[in-house]
């Protein structure tokens, strides 16, 4: 009788252990999934934010093409590029609310007249950061209204956190 | 209740718990694949902006001395009209193909994205330039299609069918 009771309590303990293992496995799986999806969500948010900044940069009055001669979507004026990065640097506080914790760079991809022009750093966040997001890219036209050349380029925006 | 019945009920409870765990596991993993990934988001952005921008950029050919460079859109118009225009020893269509191919290769290879591009006159099956494609992009099931870009020319509308894939 005593031996039978011992076997029965052993069975109960085994069942409890199995249930505990299942619960722990479920919790581990769920928490790792939640962690991954939170990470993905953060990355996606950073990219959406970066793309939003790229689009706003293309429409920034200090950079965008004059719409009088030719209406081009996503167009940056070549000559404004000479001045605007300096203006932004000198008024960093003002532009921080616009660009935030980002690095915004303009790259030239084509040049009908020969050598590719160097990338232009439009805005650089100067504060501390531990990681940077996957960059977002926005294809864009850089218009030289004097020579009437449209360079093909892209804006690269990295969010720093 | 007999002892055997109690044991069967206990077994049933365990089976139900395992089923619930499996059910939630499957539910979470299937829900996850339906969300657009960061790569998909990235490709959708590029797919919608890259071709209109390329078509507006300048080539290094001019119709005559001291006039502005043709844009790719204007070169396409010259190409479909078959005017006999020659620049750098190539006709307008060959030149356009070279420029688009070089531009797409330069940036999309760098961003590790494959592409498919076919440009043809509306209502015509023949391409104006050779179809450009990397890594069999047109055969990939999950590609990112922007609505075909319609470019007006003096010979009618030209359709640029552009796809990106991972």
Complex ipTM, two decimals? 0.74
| pLDDT at residue B37 tops 70 | no
Check if the beta carbon of residue B165 is closer than 8 Å to that of residue B108.
no
Q: In this predicted model, what pLDDT tens digit does every residue of B74-100 receive, in sequence order?
A: 999 999 988 888 998 999 999 999 999
* A149 to chain B, closest Cα gap in Å: 6
Percent of chain B with pLDDT over 90: 22
Query: With an 8 Å Cβ cutoff, is A14 touching chain B?
Result: no
> In this complex, which of A47, A141, A147 lies closest to B41 when CB atoms are compared?
A47
| Whole-Å CA distances, B163 to A20, A62, A96, A99, B43 | 50, 34, 36, 31, 9
Number of inter-chain CB pairs under 8 A, A vs B: 85
What's the full length of chain B, in residues?
A: 166
Percent of chain B with pLDDT over 70: 86
Residue A3: the pLDDT is 75
By CA distance, what is A156's nearest residue in B? B111
The more confident residue out of B113 and A133 is B113
**C-alpha span between A87 and B161 (Å, rounded):** 41
Query: With an 8 Å Cβ cutoff, is A22 touching chain B?
Result: yes
Query: With an 8 Å Cβ cutoff, is A136 touching chain B?
Result: yes
Check if the beta carbon of residue B58 is closer than 8 Å to that of residue A150.
yes
Residue A68: the pLDDT is 61
Arithmetic mean of pLDDT, A77-93: 91
| pLDDT at residue B45 tops 80 | no
**C-alpha span between B39 and A39 (Å, rounded):** 14
Count the neighbouring beta carbons within 10 Å of the beta carbon of residue A86.
Answer: 9
Check if the beta carbon of residue B128 is closer than 8 Å to that of residue B119.
yes
Arithmetic mean of pLDDT, A5-20: 82
| pLDDT at residue A69 tops 70 | no
Find all residues with CB under 8 Å of A77, minimum gap 6, and list them: A63, A64, A65, A66, A142, A143, A145
Mean pLDDT computed over every residue of chain B:
82
| pLDDT at residue A71 tops 70 | no
* B150 to chain A, closest Cα gap in Å: 16
Range picked from A58-72, A132-146, B36-50 for highest mean pLDDT: A132-146
The more confident residue out of A100 and A15 is A100
Residue recorded with tokens 């001395």: B65
**C-alpha span between B66 and B19 (Å, rounded):** 77
DSSP B113: -
Residue B141 confidence class, pLDDT cut points 50, 70, 90? low
Question: Quick one: tokens of B93?
Answer: 């269509």
Residue B30: the pLDDT is 64
| Whole-Å CA distances, B29 to A22, A30, A121, B32 | 18, 10, 41, 5
Residue B145: the pLDDT is 67
> Among A101, A104, A94, which Cα is nearest to A57's?
A104
Strand A136-144 versus strand A75-77 pairing type: parallel
Question: Quick one: tokens of B135?
Answer: 């890594």
Q: In this predicted model, what pLDDT tens digit does every residue of B100-119 receive, in sequence order?
A: 999 999 888 888 888 889 89
Residues of B in contact with A33 (CB under 8 A): 28-29, 32
DSSP for B75-87?
A: HHHHHHHT---EE
The more confident residue out of A101 and B17 is A101
Check if the beta carbon of residue B75 is closer than 8 Å to that of residue B61.
yes
Count the neighbouring beta carbons within 10 Å of the beta carbon of residue B38.
Answer: 17
| pLDDT at residue B70 tops 60 | yes
Residues of A in contact with B99 (CB under 8 A): 110
Residue recorded with tokens 């718990």: B17
| pLDDT at residue A131 tops 80 | no
Residue to test with chain B: of A9, A24, A152, most B Cβ within 10 A: A152
Query: With an 8 Å Cβ cutoff, is A18 touching chain B?
Result: yes
**C-alpha span between B37 and A40 (Å, rounded):** 8
| pLDDT at residue A1 tops 60 | no
Find all residues with CB under 8 Å of A64, minimum gap 6, and list them: A58, A75, A76, A77, A80
Helix B72-81 × helix B38-56 angle, to 10°: 60
């Amino acid at each position: 009788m005593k031996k039978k009771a011992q076997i029965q309590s052993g069975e109960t303990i085994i069942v409890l252990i199995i249930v505990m293992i299942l619960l722990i496995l479920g919790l581990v799986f769920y928490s790792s999934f939640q962690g991954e999806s939170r990470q993905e969500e953060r990355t996606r948010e950073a990219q959406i934010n970066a793309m939003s900044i790229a689009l706003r940069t293309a429409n920034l009055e200090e950079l965008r093409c004059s719409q009088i001669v030719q209406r081009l979507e996503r167009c940056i004026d070549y000559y404004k590029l000479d001045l605007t990065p300096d203006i932004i640097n000198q008024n960093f506080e003002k532009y921080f609310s616009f660009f935030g914790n980002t690095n915004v760079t303009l790259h030239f991809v084509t040049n009908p007249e020969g050598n590719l022009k160097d990338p232009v750093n439009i805005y650089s966040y100067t504060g501390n950061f531990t990681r940077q997001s996957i960059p977002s890219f926005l294809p864009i036209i850089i218009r030289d209204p004097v020579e009437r050349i449209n360079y093909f380029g892209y804006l690269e925006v990295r969010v720093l956190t | 209740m007999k002892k055997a019945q109690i044991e069967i009920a206990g077994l049933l409870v365990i089976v139900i718990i395992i089923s619930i765990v499996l059910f939630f596991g499957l539910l979470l993993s299937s829900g996850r694949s339906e969300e657009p990934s960061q790569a998909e988001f990235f490709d959708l952005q590029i797919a919608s902006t890259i071709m209109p921008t390329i078509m507006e950029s300048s080539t290094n050919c001019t119709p005559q001395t001291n006039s502005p460079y043709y844009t790719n859109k204007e070169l396409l118009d010259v190409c479909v009209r078959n005017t006999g225009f020659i620049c750098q020893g190539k006709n307008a269509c060959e030149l356009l193909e070279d420029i688009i191919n070089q531009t797409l290769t330069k940036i999309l290879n760098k961003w590790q994205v494959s592409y498919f591009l076919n440009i043809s006159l509306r209502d015509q099956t023949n391409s104006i330039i050779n179809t450009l494609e990397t890594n069999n992009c047109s055969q990939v099931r999950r590609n990112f299609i922007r609505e075909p870009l319609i470019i007006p020319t003096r010979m009618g509308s030209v359709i640029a069918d552009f796809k990106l894939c991972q």
